[in-house]
Amino acid sequence: MKTVAVIGSAKGFDESVPIARELGSALASNGFAVLTGAGEGLPLAAAAAAKAAGALVIGVSPEHSLDSHRREYAGQADVFDAIICTGFGRPGRNVVLVRSADAIIMVGGRTGTLNEFTIAFEEGKPIGVLEGSGGASDMVRSVAELGRGKGSARIVYSENPAELVAMIQKLLQ
In order of their start, the domains of the chain are: 3-172 (3.40.50.450)
153 or 87: which carries more pLDDT confidence?
A: 87
pTM of the prediction? 0.95
pLDDT digits (tens, 9 = 90+) for 9-66: 998 889 999 999 999 999 999 999 999 999 999 999 999 999 999 999 999 999 999 9
Average pLDDT of span 84-97: 94
Mean pLDDT of the chain: 93
Burial of 15 (0-12, 13-18, 19+ CB in 10 A): exposed
Percent of the chain with pLDDT over 90: 80
| Contacts with 130 (C-beta within 8 Å, 6 or more apart), sequence order | 19, 23, 105, 106, 107, 108, 137, 158, 159, 161, 164
Q: How far apart are the first and last CA of the chain?
A: 12
The answer for 52, left when phi > 0, alpha when psi is -120 to 50, beta otherwise, is alpha
**Residue 150 pLDDT > 70, yes or no?**
no
Q: According to the model, what pLDDT value does residue 151 have?
A: 62
